Amino acid sequence: MTIPLSQWEAFMVETLRHNGVSGEDIIKGLQENDVTRFQSYDTTFDYEDLYVSWTDDSERIEKAITDGYQVKFLSVYGIKRLLKLMFSLEEPADYTLEEQQFVQVPLTNQQATTVRTLLSPNWSITDVSEVDDKQMLTITHATAIKS
């Protein structure tokens, strides 16, 4: 079963990971209600929000951090931010964004699997090609898919 996270929760988790905090350390900080330690890695978020989510459903947050997750609803900005945080990919250097489509997103097989899992239902992978050792994905918003 895929664990649901909000886009906001995913941003907080991936921002910490991007800044060198392991999943284990994120969980430890949440368990100990010591989210102020996260501010030394990043000050853009109030990590108390993540702690509130933890107190509401610690099992969901822990499983999402350890086993992976699906974002409940992703915006264009959300995908751009997660691609940067998780894989250091930026538009236009690494891929292009064309009318609700991320085109030629270069990912390893493992990264592509992660993206397939985390995409919310309003996004689909509509094209995959292989270039060297990368999968080149096109990620398309549901409103841009023609029947």
The mean pLDDT value of the chain amounts to: 96
What is the arithmetic mean of pLDDT over 1-29? 96
Q: Could you tell me the residue ranges of all domains in the chain?
A: 4-71, 77-144
pTM score, two decimals?
0.93
Q: Which residues of 62-87 are buried (b: 16+ CB within 10 A; e: fewer)?
A: bebbeeebbbeebeeebbbbbbebbb
Length of the chain: 147
Q: What is the pLDDT of residues 26-61, one digit of tens each?
A: 999 999 999 999 999 999 999 999 999 999 999 999
